[in-house]
Amino acid sequence: MTDELSAAPTPAHRPTERVFHGDTVVDPFEWMRDKTDPEVIAHLEAENAYADARTAHLEQLRATLVQEFIGHTQETDLSVPVRRGDWWYITRTTAGDDYPKFTRVADTGTMPQVEPGVMLEGEHVLLDAQAEAAGAEFYSLGGLAPSPDHTLLATAVDTAGDERFTLRITDIASGEVLDEAVTGAGYGLAFSTDQQWLFYARVDDAWRQHQIWRHRIGGPAGEDMLVIEEPDERFMIGFDRSRDGSTLVIQAGSTSTTEAWLLDLARPTSTPVPAGGRREGVDYTVEHAGDRLLIVHNDGHRGFALAQAALESPERREELLAAAEGERLLSIEAFAGFVALELRSGGLASVRLIPRAADGTLLIEQASDISHGGELDTVEIDANPNWDQTTVRYQLTSMLTPPTIAEREVASGATEILRVTPVPHFDPSLYVERREWATAADGTAIPLSVVARRDVPADGTAPGYLYGYGSYEMSIDPSFVPTRLSLLDRGVVIAIAHVRGGGEMGRNWYEHGKLLEKKNSFSDFVAAAAHLTDSGQVAADRLSAEGRSAGGLLMGGIANLAPERFRAIIAGVPFVDALTTILDPSLPLTVGEWEEWGDPLHDPAVYEYMRGYTPYENITAVEYPAIFASTSLNDTRVFFNEPAKWVARLRETVTSDQVERPILFRCEMVAGHGGRSGRYRKWEQRADELAWLLDQLGATELA
C-alpha cells in the first residue's frame, strides 16, 4: 500500500444492526449520520483534505477550465425584459459578480431596447443580490414577487443551503424594509389583492412542505393564520397566483395523486374551496382560466387529457382533448385569448397553442404546435405574466442551440426571435448533435441525445461521457450547457441516456422505471453505454458517467451492475443508501417517496427488491471505476452521510488500484442540494469535477 493511498480517511467501524422482515444487516458506518458529532465533521474535513491532495496536480487544469467557462460566457449580460403590468422587469449580470441585479423600468408602450452594462433612463434597481449576499458563504433567492400594484416587493432568501427561507417585504420606491418577520418558510409567495396579506408555505421537520399560511404585512409572525394543512405525509402542498390575479390556486400532490383548492385573493381571509377532490391514482393540475377551470388529468387517460369545468362545479369535467399516441400532456397556461399546452411528443418537449373564442371557448381545431425542426429541440414556455397578452414567449434550446427566447403572435403565427444567449468563442458548425437509440436487455429502444465535434472519428478511440437521471418522471431534455464545450473541445463524445423512470417517452416510460421495475433504469443506462462503445463512438476503456441526486442512485447502481463498462463516475449528492433511508419514516421525505420506490418497511417484496439494488449494500470485491462523490452538509434532500458511507465501503471492498482509480469524496460545508451558490463558485466546483474526470479519461489537452 502506497503512502498516498494510506492517507485516505478510514472511519471507524461501529456496527449497528438493521433488522426487517427476518433480514439482519450490519452497518459499520451508520454512526456518521450525526452532523453535530465533532468526529463526523473531522472525518468530512479529512475527506476534503484527501481530495485536495489527490487532485493537487490538477490545479492548472482547474484554472484553465474556469477560464474556458468564463470565456464562453458574456459576463456582463441581461435578460429579455418582461412586462408585468405597467413595468418592464429586467435581470442584469455584471462581470466579477456572482449574483445578478433585478431592475425595472416604466412601460412606455413598447419593449425597451436594452444593452448589457448600460442602465436605462429611469431604470430602478429592485434587488442587488450581489450586495445582499456580501459576507455570506451561501446565498439563494427562493422567490421574488412584486405586489399587484407593483409598489411592494417580496423576496425569499436562504443563506444556509437548507432551503428554508427568510421573507422580506420592501417598499420599492423608498427601499424601506417593511417586514422580515417570517423565517423558515418554504417555496411560494403571493400577495392578496389589497396587499395587506402575504401567503407563504412552511415545511415540517422532515422538510415536507405541508402548510400554507397567511401573514399580515407589518405584523408579527406569531399572529399568522394557517390557511390549509396537508396531513398526509405522502403529499406536499404549494400554490400559485392565477394569471388574472384573482385566485390563489393551491395544489397538494404525491407522485401519483393530486388535490386542488381555490382561494379568492380579494377575500384573503376566506376558506379555500375544493377544486377537484382527491382520488387515489388520479393526478391532475388546475389552471384558473378566468371564466372556467382547465384541468390536465390522467383519469382514464394514460397520456393525460385536457378538460374544462365551471368555477362553481369543478368536479364536473368536460373533456376537450386527449393525448395522442406517443404524447404526454404536462400542463396548461391560460390567457384571455388563448391557452398554451405544454406536452411531450416523440420524446421531446413541445408547446401547443390553442386560440379562445370571444366567449372563452377553446378552439381545439385551430391548435398549432411550436416547432423549429431540430432533431433535439426542446421547446418550453417562458415568462408570460400578463392575462391580456396576445403573444406567447417560449424558450428554444438543444445541445448545440444556446437558450433562445422567441415570441409568437398567436393569431397570425408570426414569430420573432428576441434573443439568442451569446456564447463567445463557440462555432456550432464544428459540432454535430443527433438522436440515437440503444436496445435494452428486454428489447426496449432507449433514446440517447448525442453531441460531439465533427472531426472526432468513430474509430473506437474517443473518450466519452454519459449522463442520466431516470426518476420521478423528470425528463433530462437536450439543452445547451456551456461548460460541456470544455469536454467537447478535448474530443469527448457527450450523450444523455433517457432511461426509464424519467418522463421522456411518456407516462409508461416512467411507470416501467419505478417501484418493482426500478432496475430497468440501471440496465437501460448500461445498454446506452454499450451502444456508445459497440458503435465505435467511444473507446471501451474511456467511457465516463455522471448522475446527481436520484441520478446518483443510478450511478451507484450501474457501478455495481457493470463496473467494467466505465472508467470514471461522478456521483453528485447521490442517493446511494436508498434502502436505509426509505425504511425510516422519520427522515425527510421518506413517506412521500414510498410511491416512487415502494414501501420496504411494510412490504417484504419491496424490501427484498430494494435490497438487491441499493448501491451501498451491493458493492462487490471486483475492479470498479474511479469515483468522485460530492455532497453538501446542509442538503435536506439527500443527507451527506449517504455518500460518506458509500465511499468508505467502496474503498475497503473494491479490488481496483485506488492510486490509478481513486475514490474521492468532497463535502461542501456550507451549501445545499445544488452545491455552491454564485456563478463563479459554481464554475470552480464544476472545474474541480471535470478536471478530475478529464484526467481519468486521458483527455486533458484540447483536441
Q: Where are the domains of the chain?
A: 15-70+425-697
The span from the CA of 461 to the CA of 452, in Å, is 13
What is the C-alpha separation between 514 and 184, in angstroms, rounded? 32
3-state helix, strand, coil in the chain (%, to 5): 20, 35, 45
**Per-residue pLDDT at 1:** 36
- Residue 425, classified by CB atoms within 10 Å of its CB into exposed (0-12), middle (13-18) or buried (19+), is exposed
Q: Which of 73, 74, 71, 76 is nearest to 117 (CA)?
A: 76
* Element holding 614 (H helix, E strand): none
Q: Which listed residue (79, 521, 549, 677) is catalytic?
A: 549
The pLDDT value recorded for residue 138 is: 87
Length of the chain: 703
pLDDT of residue 633: 87
- The bridge status of strand 445-453 relative to strand 236-241 is unpaired
Is 635 a catalytic site residue?
yes
Sheet strands side by side (includes 348-355): 327-334, 338-345, 348-355, 368-370
C-beta separation of 336 from 388 below 8 A: yes
Instruction: Please give the model's pTM, rounded to 2 decimal places.
Output: 0.94
Residues 543, 696 contacting (CB under 8 angstroms): no
Residue 661 DSSP label: S
**How confident is the model at residue 672, as a pLDDT?**
64
Strand order in the sheet with 140-146: 140-146, 152-158, 166-171, 177-179
Residues 6+ apart with CB under 8 A from 570: 544, 545, 546, 547, 555, 628, 630, 689, 692, 693
How many CA atoms lie less than 13 Å away from 546 in the CB half-sphere? 18
Q: Which helix (H) or strand (E) holds 391?
A: strand 391-397
* pLDDT per position as a tens digit, 249-269: 999 999 899 999 999 999 999
Q: What is the pLDDT of residue 671?
A: 59
Q: Which three cell numbers stand for residue 655?
A: 479490488
Choosing from 97, 489, 524, 635, the catalytic residue is 635
What local confidence, expressed as pLDDT, does residue 414 receive? 96
Q: For strands 87-93 and 431-439, give the pairing.
A: unpaired
Q: Which of 533, 529, 545 is nearest to 458 (CA)?
A: 533
CATH code for the part of the protein at 15-70+425-697: 3.40.50.1820
Residue of 297, 523, 673, 677 marked active site: 673
> Which residues of the chain are modeled with pLDDT < 50?
1-5
> Can you give the pLDDT at residue 537?
98
Nearest CA to 47 out of 457, 646, 695, 660 is that of: 646
**According to the model, what pLDDT value does residue 639 have?**
84
Rg (CA), the chain: 25
